[in-house]
A = this chain, B = another copy of it.
Amino acid sequence: MIQAKGYAAQSPETDLAPWNFERRDVGPHDVQIEILYCGVCHSDLHQIKNDWFPGIFPMVPGHEIVGRVIRTGDHVKKFKTGDLAGVGCMVDSCQECENCKAGLEQYCLEGNTQTYNGLGRDGVPTYGGYSNTIIVREEFVLHVSGKLSLAATAPLLCAGITTYSPLRHWKVGKGHKLAVLGLGGLGHMAVKFGVAFGAEVTVLSTSPSKEEAAKALGAHRFVVTSDPEQLAAVTGTFDFILDTVSAKHDMDMYLALLKTDGTHICVGVPAEGIAFQAFSLLGGRKSVAGSGIGGIPETQEMLDFCAEHNIVSEIEMIDINDITSAYERMLKGDVRYRFVIDMATLK
């Protein structure tokens, strides 16, 4: 076994704290990565607090991982020692079902193996990226370009692909009006991708104070949803809403902003669920859709697209021992737009 160190929650009631643990040895198809940076996703906090479902403890969160390959198994073909590498939300899947074969491992019919708070196919709990090292089978390791900031690349592995994938799936681009709901880790990436794909991007927000920041990210328009006049002006105008909000929100209000045949795409997970009136859909043949991360081929495509178009996440780097205060700030929305842990601070 390989000795690893990281930060773990021992239970939903405790803060993250240093924890030493074991990872599996490097198998013939495995890649061992020295973790350099790990993004801090809102879902990390949801999971250590059991907001969605009972978790597996101790829990080492983190699924926005960038690092360097330090060992490879005998049969590994895609990576060699010294390569830059990324790991996102999944570390395994059955690889045999129709979804896996279609490159949709996130929808593996047997269930994919989450990077943390999951059970590996060997029945052993998985531990995530708030850690010095990780061992992952090569099919789930991504190539990362050295052209961009590695720290700012880390959030692409979740926040990036989670917004890139639905925009690609629904072919959002030139001629479309796209609204982005929630200007956090996911939302700010949605703005960047929407703009890069040629859509007219509007940020919907309750806070007028975010306008400057939204425009700085490339958004063409900014609408304060608490202002009835601004809201009326965009009623029935959007082809798509990309909804990154994971708190309860008024779906009927947002559905009214869609055009006939418009689609409201949810990528956030409000613990309370999603609720609306049937007429909000029936009145314009509208849809509420959901999308979860992206498959491995598409994640690589997204990383390559970002390298080519110079797209990274806006980040604030933190020491791992400041993680609890970072969570507190994240809860208040006080981060532009993603905390990334500098793993050199894990002693």
Query: Which residues of A are in contact with B by a Cβ distance under 8 Å?
Result: 52, 99, 104, 107, 109, 166, 169, 236, 260, 263, 266-270, 273-292
Residues A109 and B286 in contact in the complex (CB < 8 Å), given A270-B278, A281-B266: no
Q: Which of B107, B275, B286 contacts A289 (CB 8 A)?
A: B286
CB distance from A254 to the nearest CB of B (A): 14
Q: Which residues does chain B contribute within 8 Å of A99, judged by CB atoms?
A: 260
Q: A289 near B287 (CB under 8 angstroms)? A: yes
> Are B107 and A283 touching (Cβ within 8 A)?
yes
A282–B266 contact, CB under 8 A? yes
CB neighbours of A52 from chain B (8 A): 279
Shortest C-beta distance, A132 to chain B (Å), equals 31
Task: Decide if B286 touches A277 in the complex (CB within 8 Å).
Answer: no
How far does the Cβ of A171 sit from chain B's closest Cβ, in whole Å?
14
In contact, A285 and B109 (Cβ under 8 angstroms): no
Q: Are A292 and B283 in contact (CB under 8 A)?
A: yes
What residue of chain B has the Cβ atom nearest to residue A266's Cβ?
A: B278
Asked if B274 and A277 sit within 8 Å, CB to CB, the answer is: yes
- Contact A275 B275, beta carbon cutoff 8 Å: yes
- A236 cross-chain contacts in B, Cβ below 8 A: 109
Complex Cα–Cα for A52 and B277 (A): 10
Task: With CB as the reference atom, state the residue of chain B lying closest to A292.
Answer: B282
- The CA of A166 and the CA of B292, in the complex, are separated in Å by 26
* A282 in contact with B260 given A274-B275, A275-B275, A277-B274 (CB within 8 Å): no
Choose among A107, A263, A269 the residue with the greatest number of B CB atoms under 10 Å from its CB: A107
- Residues from chain B with a CB closer than 8 A to the CB of A268 are 278
| Shortest Cβ-Cβ A-B pairs, 4 listed | A281-B290, A275-B275, A282-B290, A287-B289
Q: Is the CB of A289 within 8 A of B285?
A: yes
Separation of A32 and B280 alpha carbons in the complex (Å): 34
Cβ contacts under 8 Å, A275 to chain B: 273-276
Question: Complex Cα distance A166/B285, Å?
Answer: 9
Q: Contact check, A278 vs B260: say whether CB atoms are below 8 A apart.
A: no
Interfacial chain B residues near A276, Cβ < 8 Å: 273-275
Given that A274-B276, A274-B277, A282-B266 are contacting pairs, would A260 and B104 also be in contact in the complex, using a CB cutoff of 8 Å?
yes
Residue in contact with A169 in the complex, picked from B166, B285, B292, CB distance below 8 Å:
B285
